[in-house]
Amino acid sequence: MNFYQKIIFATLSVFLMIAACSTPEEECVKPGSKKKVGKYHMRQDSELTTLMKEMEDDFKRMKADIAAGKPAKPGLDYQKILTAHGTEAEEVPSESYQAFAKNFLQTMEAFEKADLEKSEQLYENLVTSCMNCHTVHCPGPKVRIEKLY
């Protein structure tokens, strides 16, 4: 590569870096919608997916509290599990999903009222409840759920 080719290459490289950095940021996208990234469309998390990720964080905190001998109290409104919109429109209203969700909520109610001794077993029952539902409805997150035991 001669001197002039190097100058042209360097100039083009700088120009392309400036052009790439000056591209405006994309607008915010509502959950459940798709945004275009290049030639691909990326699906945004549904309301239910977002709730489940928050649940995972809450469960990790509760597990740590139990391990430390502290009372573990939920930090979320778990009733939303009955109404949050899922990735698939028919997901949440199905009788099967609603049955799993109501069972989960009953266990959560017992967990909230339990003493420290019983809370460990009820915590495991909550995680099992999640695994049972995900076995039927959405098996993808089961690996993450197993880590909550």
pLDDT in tens, the chain (149 residues): 677 666 666 665 655 566 555 544 443 444 444 555 556 667 789 999 999 999 999 999 999 999 999 999 999 999 999 999 998 888 788 999 999 999 999 999 999 999 999 999 999 999 999 999 999 999 999 999 999 99
Would the pTM count as exceeding 0.75? no
Which positions ≥6 away from 107 have C-beta within 8 Å? 122, 125, 126, 129
Beta strands in 26-126 (DSSP E): 34-37, 40-43
| The predicted structure's pLDDT at residue 25 | 41
State the helix-helix crossing angle for 47-67 and 116-136, rounded to 10 degrees: 150
| The predicted structure's pLDDT at residue 119 | 96
| The predicted structure's pLDDT at residue 70 | 95
Sign of CA dihedral 32, 92, 62, 131: negative
